[in-house]
Chain A
Amino acid sequence: MAKNKVVLADGTVLIDLTGDTVTSAADIVSGKVGHLKDGTQVTGTLTFQTIYSGSSDPSAGTGVNGDIYVKVVS
């Protein structure tokens, strides 16, 4: 069972995740391993699309599917 708070016998708080704000794998970047506030270890699923910009047309080698390219006239 996952643990999110460990308190020693003398009352010392060794670790406390209860105040964290990570509540799902989507809160952690994709591929990174972390813990939810309840102590459960998860692998992150949060992904990003990139917004590129430039004054010329985008090159074929730039970006991945779903990315945006904003062309501006300089």
Chain B
Amino acid sequence: MGTSVILPTTYTTDGSSFYVRDPSYMYTDISSTTHAEISSYSYDKKAHYVYLKGFDLSSAVPAGMQVDSVTVQANVEFQNGLNTSTGSYPALCNGTTVVANASVSGNIYTFSGLDWNTISGYGDDLSIRLCHRKKNAYSSVALYVYGAQVNVEYSESGGSDAIYIKQNGVWTEAAAVYKKIGGVWTEQTDLANVFDAGVNYVSE
């Protein structure tokens, strides 16, 4: 059992004019006490997006391990003057497409119930969309971003054992292995202990 924590390394925008102060403070985990400030130069009350990304998931899972769960978290603080409706919450995206919405506790936004194969399949397109939307046009207000992280919990893969049978000169992995017990064929899951010590086996 182990956990990998992967941090963002960069950000992009939706093309809107932003000022991002101390962007490196976004590239830390959610326990950080320092923050980046995202301000919009736009004089409107529309939603403007910054995409926090650059999560390198390629080495998140050590060899021989299987993923048990994956969650994504962001620590974001809306300053007074910003729209704080649920539509302004951080959203998990594949590119610019929202794929999951967050639950919130304080300033921590958590995306859970994620499928590892799906998330890792997004590659460089995995991002956390941060929304900057003013309540009042012409106001100057910042979104504080303390950090974000992808948490990958993994454990030893139970499926590492396999039994092969040679047929027509080719070794083929068994799709299932049964043992007759009490007159009933019983599928075996503990492949390392299928064969009894001291017993001689012959092929049919």
Which A residues have a C-beta under 8 Å from some C-beta of B? 46-53, 57-58, 60, 62-73
Q: Are B203 and A50 touching (Cβ within 8 A)?
A: yes
Sampled A-B contacts (12; CB under 8 Å):
A51-B201, A52-B204, A53-B165, A53-B204, A62-B185, A63-B180, A68-B180, A68-B195, A69-B180, A71-B175, A71-B177, A72-B175
Q: Which of B167, B172, B183 contacts A65 (CB 8 A)?
A: B183
The answer to whether the Cβ of B43 comes within 8 Å of any Cβ in the partner chain is: no
In the complex formed, the residue of B with least CB distance to A59 is B185
Cβ distance A23 to chain B, nearest Cβ, rounded Å: 16
Which B residues have a C-beta under 8 Å from some C-beta of A? 163, 165, 167, 172-185, 194-196, 199-204
> Which residues from chain B contact A69 at a C-beta distance below 8 Å?
177-180, 185
Contact of A72 with B199 at beta-carbon distance under 8 Å, contacts A60-B185, A67-B179 already known = no
Cβ distance B72 to chain A, nearest Cβ, rounded Å: 37
Q: Are B180 and A66 touching (Cβ within 8 A)?
A: yes
Give A69 to B203 CA distance when docked, in angstroms.
10
> Which residues from chain B contact A63 at a C-beta distance below 8 Å?
180, 185
Give A71 to B178 CA distance when docked, in angstroms.
8
Q: Are A71 and B174 touching (Cβ within 8 A)?
A: yes
Q: Are A65 and B180 touching (Cβ within 8 A)?
A: yes
Give A64 to B203 CA distance when docked, in angstroms.
14
Q: Which of A51, A67, A71, A72 contacts B167 (CB 8 A)?
A: A72
Q: Are B180 and A57 touching (Cβ within 8 A)?
A: no
Q: Are A50 and B201 touching (Cβ within 8 A)?
A: yes
Give A56 to B33 CA distance when docked, in angstroms.
60
Q: Which one of A58, A70, A71, A72 has the highest number of Cβ atoms from chain B below 10 Å of its Cβ?
A: A70
Give A53 to B203 CA distance when docked, in angstroms.
8
Q: Are B199 and A49 touching (Cβ within 8 A)?
A: yes
Contact of A49 with B175 at beta-carbon distance under 8 Å, contacts A57-B185, A65-B182, A67-B180 already known = no
> Which residues from chain A contact B178 at a C-beta distance below 8 Å?
57-58, 68-71
Known pairs A48-B200, A60-B183, A72-B173; list 19 more (Cβ under 8 Å): A47-B200, A48-B201, A49-B200, A50-B202, A50-B203, A51-B202, A53-B165, A57-B185, A58-B178, A63-B185, A66-B180, A68-B177, A68-B179, A68-B180, A69-B177, A69-B185, A70-B178, A71-B176, A72-B172
Contact of A66 with B179 at beta-carbon distance under 8 Å, contacts A58-B185, A71-B174, A72-B172 already known = yes
Give A48 to B167 CA distance when docked, in angstroms.
21
Cβ distance B203 to chain A, nearest Cβ, rounded Å: 5
Cβ distance A20 to chain B, nearest Cβ, rounded Å: 20
Q: Are A49 and B201 touching (Cβ within 8 A)?
A: yes
